[in-house]
Amino acid sequence: AALGLLPLGKTQSPESLLDIAARKVAEKWPFQRVEERFERIPEPVQRRIVYWSFPRSEREICMYSSFNTGAEDLAIAPGGAA
């Protein structure tokens, strides 16, 4: 990185190894699978994996928050018939 391009007084600190590893785990596996696979996961590691498991962009948050499982449709029409 060209440090000369940063404004004076501004520095970038590298990502911690914990954050890098937690982000990579969260990108590949659901947290439930991680919990099932490993017996003991230190709490700080759990917190970072959970943090990175959630969507980052507003678009992704809207997409997941409006996810429709179809359960509402079944409540309206018993048996799923329209």
- Is 49 inside a domain boundary? yes
- Is 76 inside a domain boundary? no
- Is 5 inside a domain boundary? no
- Is 46 inside a domain boundary? yes
Q: Tell me the pLDDT band of 10, cut-offs 50, 70 and 90.
A: low
Domain that holds residue 21: 17-66
SS3 state of residue 40: coil
pLDDT of residue 3: 52
pLDDT at 35 over 50: yes
Residue whose pair of structure tokens reads 């990108």 in the numeric block: 27
- Is 8 inside a domain boundary? no
48, 50, 73 from 43: Cα distances, Å: 9, 10, 39
- Is 7 inside a domain boundary? no
- Number of domains the chain contains: 1
Q: What single-letter amino acid sits at 69? A: T
- Is 73 inside a domain boundary? no
Q: What is the mean pLDDT of residues 1-25?
A: 78
